[in-house]
Amino acid sequence: MKEYWTMLASLMGALAFLQGVLHAVFPAELRAALARLLGRLTRAFSPYCYFDVTETDGMSNNEIYDAVQLYLSSTAAPASGARLSLTRPHNATSFTFGLAASDRVVDAFRGAAVTWEHVVAPRQSPGFSWRPLPEEKRRFTLRIRRGDREKLLPAYLDHILATAQEIRRRSQDRLLYTNARGGAMDSRGLPWDPVPFKHPSTFDTLAMDPERKASIMADLRDFAAGSSFYERTGRAWKRGYLLYGPPGTGKSSMIAAMANFLGYDVYDLELTEVSSNAELRKLLMKTTSKSIIVIEDIDCSVDLTNRAALPPAPKPRPTLDGAIDQDVGTASGRSITLSGLLNFTDGLWSCCGSERIFVFTTNHIEKLDPALLRSGRMDMHVFMSYCTFPALKILLKNYLCLEDSADDGAEVMRGLEEWIEAAEITPADVSEVLIKNRRNGKERAMEELLEVLKARAEKRRLDGGKVAAAAAPRDNDEEEEEKRALESPKEGKGPAGKNSCGDGQDEETDAKKQL
């Protein structure tokens, strides 16, 4: 054992002596040139090629570095078993993972394997810099096979950038925008006021028939993943939804569920605050992609049923003291028209952004102009009906934690199924009954709900009988009046049916009345 350590020490001394001789004989420039030559020879015969993605590009941050860090943190790194760093950015709702220093991870794209390595090296002390630099130099090194270069670049990098943007968008808080400022701009020149969007409604908690809910969710998935489809067909990447039905059937909850399902921001457009079609176009131009533009109660916002052209507003004229009377030009009414709203949803200005959904809500669909309802503007018409039995089971699960397989209150459940259709009760009314009785136990709450359904059904039956009884005499009176009108002689004619004036004046008067 002693001879082994003696031999090892002699060998290390010989290597140190040889290194000193090489440094004395060969200058540093020659050694660097030899190292570069060996590196080129190695890369020439290597089946791989390498790409470095540095953290900074000169004095600015490298966008690709941040995108690669986000991409690896959400896709390849957590499943690879590599050592990760855990972070949470500011104004974010989720944690992100980062690849630790000097660690590597394997990814795949289009059937080709790639390897990412995170290289961290200490930075040499700079002389003078206007901007403080980090103490370490960081970069990602991408290794791919030479035969896969045409397949991966630049498609793989575009995929990384798109995925990172989606991760960044979903990790941030969603916002609810409103234009209730009378058209004024904020300090950034934007006409929208944002607030955090924290509505908890989802499709799981939405009281709606499961089949209709599944069809809406499938349509939303196809829309969000339809970039290539809309580009191939030459259509604007947008979709229109019309939610109509009685009040309290969940139209606003449906909008919130759509926003939470897609991760989109919501723009609540108040038409009464829009003074002109030009201002409406400006509001549309200031909306972002991946958003839902909502106009609630469109039949009550402004009068859009008159297709006639509006008379031109009088020009402002000077008053007696020389000032301009602004009320003269604006008191005649708002200048937002049906044509301006149609161009807003389906015209050329609607194509200034992508991946946007327009949602109109109304309680009376018959009051809307047919031009607003055609395909291309409102692609899907969703009727928010009264509470059905499948929707009732969802509400019972939400408020009472009652599962479908539970045997508690089976008889009461059969009664609810029997009376729910006849009662015509909205999900909002059912929720109110369940909230009031949630502390009384499941069975008591269900019994109270059954009593409410029976009372509403009985009231509807009595009201329907009264209406039918009241309508019958009126129908008989109308028939009698029509018979008397047919039997009696017409006004303005003599006994023989001749006009009292034979000069044709009555015929001219009748023609004027018809006109």
pLDDT tens for 201-253 read 999 999 999 999 999 999 999 999 998 899 899 888 999 999 999 999 999 99
Q: Which amino acid is at 149?
A: R
In the chain, % of residues over pLDDT 70? 73
Choice between 427 and 133, residue whose per-residue pLDDT is larger = 427
- The answer to whether residues 431 and 395 touch, using CB atoms and an 8 Å cutoff, is yes
Least confident range from 69-78, 208-217, 307-316: namely 307-316
pLDDT of residue 492: 43
pLDDT of residue 407: 65
pLDDT tens for 468-491 read 666 555 555 555 565 555 455 444
Per-residue pLDDT, averaged over 380-402, amounts to: 93
Q: Which amino acid is at 66?
A: D
Sign (positive/negative) of CA torsion 274, 277, 279, 281?
A: positive
For residue 162, pLDDT over 80 is answered with yes
> What counts of helices (H) and strands (E) characterise the chain?
18, 15
Q: What is the DSSP letter of 142?
A: E
pLDDT of residue 395: 94
Least confident range from 287-291, 301-305, 430-434: namely 301-305
For residue 438, pLDDT over 80 is answered with yes
pLDDT of residue 234: 87
For residue 513, pLDDT over 60 is answered with no
pLDDT of residue 267: 95
For residue 182, pLDDT over 60 is answered with no
pLDDT-derived band of residue 83, with 50, 70 and 90 as boundaries? Answer: low
For residue 15, pLDDT over 90 is answered with no
Per-residue pLDDT, averaged over 393-401, amounts to: 92
Choice between 67 and 187, residue whose per-residue pLDDT is larger = 67
pLDDT of residue 314: 44
Choice between 350 and 417, residue whose per-residue pLDDT is larger = 417
- The answer to whether residues 115 and 130 touch, using CB atoms and an 8 Å cutoff, is no
pLDDT-derived band of residue 130, with 50, 70 and 90 as boundaries? Answer: low
**Residue 355 neighbours by CB under 8 Å, 6+ apart:** 223, 224, 227, 237, 238, 289, 290, 291
Across the chain, mean pLDDT equals 79
Per-residue pLDDT, averaged over 301-317, amounts to: 51
For residue 192, pLDDT over 70 is answered with yes
Per-residue pLDDT, averaged over 323-338, amounts to: 52
Choice between 42 and 319, residue whose per-residue pLDDT is larger = 42
In whole angstroms, what is the distance from residue 62 CA to residue 411 CA?
66
Strand partners, 121: 137
Cβ atoms within 10 Å of 402's Cβ, excluding its own: 19
SS (H, E, C) 228-279: HHHHHHCCCCEEEEEEECCCCCCHHHHHHHHHHHHCCEEEECCHHHCCCHHH
